[in-house]
Structure 1
């Protein structure tokens, strides 16, 4: 019996996932909860687990393919005589092949469904167990059924087929061809199913050059060096984290009225404190950085200005004051910009905060952040100083009231005790949502953080 497993949703409203790597191949025997593949959503990389004991009959898609939620991703060959589509998250348990009547999800199984029984038969589709050759491509721009791209096959009468757009080339490739004056109708594609690729267009352009009046740039002189020795034009699809980041930042920038304030602080005493702490037995195993001190100072300052830790709920006409700090740390990861957070950072002392920061940084660099670490933040820090930058105008993480950027620490002439001396100086940049935070409150928060960094002992007097 053939079972088709559709890609389920994580339960967070995500509509697609990018297939990163397959962990199985056609013909492999798998058991329930064996890892089938790694997929990347807009929030995290997760493992896709098998809902069945059986044999892999077909894998739908290659690494790098974006799969829509509800679309077939794996076909299983199971003992039996009938073929049917596997339930996705939210369906009933099926014909008893799932353990204990549990519902399959993208990362495992939920609780047993109450009154779980055999549901109504889903639409049957007949499918050969062995992979079949890729069909020939339809004319450019013509829609084809899912069967033409290996996501469904002919079945019984009334079977609904998935319609997808499958031109002879992708929109970015057609745009590149237009820019370079290349006629796609005269090209033989080297991609899967005869699809014209970017390389096909570039080879054609090198042979003929752009057509007159096409608007393309003049052909380069032979031997002209490009940046990094790479092709003159490269394209990358917008997907996963970059797509989600762009949507979130655009929504934040145009929904929350941003105000940014700056404060330059003499942090010489804080840097001296870090050096002293690194020699202390309680901190020797920890990595202490200026971010550690800023994180602690921000948690203290939020005690006095809770408006910076609030949330605007326009849908219900209310402001939510959060008396805890889930401290977000903007991190540049291999997957792009991510903002994991430290839960209840206000309850941590400096050593515990340093330990959590180190753990979070390590997990982010490994690309192993989980969805739960990326939601629920209340206030964010971003360290632009690690890139040698002094200041900026950071965009607020959606749903939060403020974000604090810390610039690089650098030695520069500074007034100290009435004289000019070389001191270590940092610039802080605070952006806040003016719906929630007035200028007075934003300024007080920034001044409090600056006071702690200027004279760490002030923490004992102010908080």
Structure 2
């Protein structure tokens, strides 16, 4: 007989605790090959395909599109073929054999971080067929799902609290290692916790509610028995998916991208003692330099202002390398040192249909200005299309934020944790300015610089920002530092 194996959602990026299912690429009853993508999930403002390392028949999925799945929880369950020599019936053996034998080049079975191990994501879906050649329907495949459910319950029983005698309370319904870890950290007994998931499955939100004292304990077995008038009387979490509340308000849940961004912003404000300084600069000469660089160039070869500000920032970091750093902390969260990065992994804020993203230009200090402009354009296009891999959204050491595209002059940007600094650029607008001793109308820009005060003092931050402003006003000064 085939065995049912769970494929847990892998960690697709730094700090990820869950991902939202955008689209299923397989149905229950489909036959899949090794490393075939089974779902598209959204995390860190990118949509990635998740490949399954098992070949066999899909027996269950972790909910419909829009479901949030914790890292480590089962994404799909797969009925894999029996070992050689075992009898599984001619139809099952043929179907499993076809699934278990991946075609040449279709993958090795390794699940990489945020990537599949195949080069093609084309559909390879097949249905299990009976000896007569008719497809096996979902109810037939569901019979194998029952075995998977039994394995889930057995897993929860093995790693959960002791359940006592056979007549005692059932083991806690939990399959996510993340949920178990959170429960341990908060000292919560999962055996007495009510789950809000399917069939009473304990979710991360249940543990967090218990930690905040807003949950309801599991009722005794006799009280939870089904009654003729309705389902079991265990507590469930309220549905906050934007439904209308009694007082007319609505609640939009923070999930997926929004929750990850909220957690990142909050952590930065909570852990980083940041400070911000500002300066106004005359960008008239910078605009003239851009026009000269782009004269006669094809559109794809032109250099934008973001690339020029990036080049200036890289030159400033070469003079003040302590700003290209991150703070090292101990187990208690206290700072124990400052790690100075040898390479500049330049992040830049990009607005996308899925929200704010921060793609990262790898080894930006090694690129020419034209190369930097080309990579910025490539990453921006990929971010807006949702094609960025998690590796292109993590690992930054310094961030450039051009909020001037929104028509605002200044801001106090939140540092992108765990980085130590961020340069902000406001809009460039005509304003009166004293130029060479006379009042004139010039193209002015406000620059802001947020920095981690544990990494440097105000003198270093001010010197960096002054260098950037001087380079904006006189781009020729960059030649000394390139």
TM value normalised by structure 1: 0.71
Corresponding residue of 1:318: 337
Q: What is the rounded CA distance, in whole Å, between the counterparts of 1:7 and 1:36 in structure 2?
A: 12
| Residue of structure 2 aligned with 1:73, choices 75, 79, 104 | 75
Q: Matches of 1:199 and 1:157 in 2, distance apart?
A: 32
Mapping for residues 29-428 of structure 1, pairs under 5 Å: 29-42=31-44, 44-80=46-82, 104=111, 107-108=115-116, 129-131=140-142, 152-153=149-150, 160=157, 162-163=173-174, 165-166=195-196, 202=244, 216=247, 233-281=249-297, 284-315=299-330, 317-428=336-447
Question: Structure 1 pair 383/77, CA: closer, same or farther in 2 (3 Å)?
Answer: same
Are the aligned partners of 1:45 and 1:369 in contact in 2 as well (CA < 8 Å)? yes
Given the superposition, is the C-alpha separation of residues 20 and 320 from structure 1 closer, same or farther in structure 2, using an over 3 Å criterion?
A: same
- 1:219 is aligned to none
CA pair 446-54 structure 1, distance change in 2 beyond 3 A:
same
CA distance in 2, matches of 1:331, 1:287: 19
TM-score, length basis structure 2 = 0.68
Deviation, 1:2, is: 4.4
Shift of 1:235: 3.0
Task: State which drifts further: 401-410 or 363-372.
Answer: 363-372
Give 1:415 deviation, angstroms.
Answer: 1.3
Residue ranges of structure 1 left out of the alignment (5+ in a row)? 84-95, 111-126, 133-145, 172-187, 211-215, 217-231
Give the Cα separation in 2 of the matches to 1:129 and 1:4.
17
Deviation at 1:376, TM superposition (A): 1.9
Q: Is the 8 A contact 2:240 2:252 kept in 1?
A: no
Cα offset, 1:109, TM superposition: 6.3
Please give the secondary structure, in 1, of the residue aligned with 2:342.
coil
Return 5+ residue gaps in structure 2 as ranges. Answer: 89-98, 119-137, 158-170, 175-193, 206-229
CA contact (8 A) 1:19 1:40 kept: yes
Moved more, 291-300 or 2-11: 2-11
Q: Are residues 462 and 17 of structure 1, via their aligned partners in 2, closer, same or farther at CA, if it must alter by over 3 Å? A: closer
Give the drift of 1:339. Answer: 1.6
The equivalent of 1:120 in structure 2 is none
2:462 is paired with a residue whose SS is helix
Q: 1:201 to 1:286 in 2, by over 3 A?
A: closer
Cα 1:387–1:82 shift into 2, 3 Å: farther
CA gap 1:236/1:439 in 2 versus in 1, 3 angstroms:
same
Q: 1:82 to 1:239 in 2, by over 3 A?
A: farther
User: Structure 2 CA distance, aligned partners of 1:414 and 1:78?
Assistant: 73
Residue 279 and residue 238 in structure 1: after superposition, are their counterparts in 2 closer, same or farther (change >3 A)? same
Distance 1:98 1:65, change over 3 A: farther
How many residue pairs get matched? 376
Residues 19 and 65, structure 1, Cα contact 8 Å, conserved in 2: yes
Q: Residue in 2 aligned with 1:442?
A: 461
CA contact (8 A) 2:34 2:109 kept: no
Pick which of 72-81 and 291-300 moved more. Answer: 72-81
Task: Pick closer, same or farther for the CA change 1:129–1:43 going to 2, 3 Å.
Answer: farther
In 2 relative to 1, CA 79–284 (structure 1 residues): closer, same or farther, beyond 3 Å?
closer
